[in-house]
Amino acid sequence: MKVNITSENGTAVAVLNGEIDHHTARSLRSEIDRFVITMQPERLAMDFTGITFMDSSGIGLIIGRYKLMKEWGGQLEIRGTQPYIRRVLKLSGIERIVKIV
């Protein structure tokens, strides 16, 4: 799985494609964290439009990035979730702490 990360007006946009599971979450976490720690954006937007599968590793990925952004007062938002992923996020309670667009 590959992530494409760009910076747009103080927002880091991480466009994810493929599946998020325990095999892919580690590399995604590393790439996103490296970019965020280096650039320290005001906001991190994770774009899930291209995600075809997500298990609990995706929840962990989101929560970890939320904590990272919160360390210096940044914000996290999730974009482009498919209906079944949005349902998983809702059931997990993530929508209480992370903005889902």
Among 96, 34, 37, 84, which residue's Cα sits nearest to residue 58?
Answer: 84
Amino acid at 1: M
Whole-model pTM: value is 0.94
pLDDT of residue 15: 98
pLDDT of residue 2: 82
d(CA 39, CA 36): 5
Domain of residue 44 covers: 3-100
Name every residue whose Cβ is closer than 8 Å to that of residue 16 and which is 6 or more positions away in sequence: 1, 3, 28, 46, 47, 48, 50, 51
pLDDT of residue 24: 96
pLDDT of residue 90: 92
Q: What is the mean pLDDT of each run of 10 residues along the chain (101 residues)?
A: 90 96 95 96 97 94 97 95 93 94 90
CATH number reported for the structural domain that contains residue 23 in this entry: 3.30.750.24
Number of domains present in the structure of the chain: 1
pLDDT of residue 1: 74
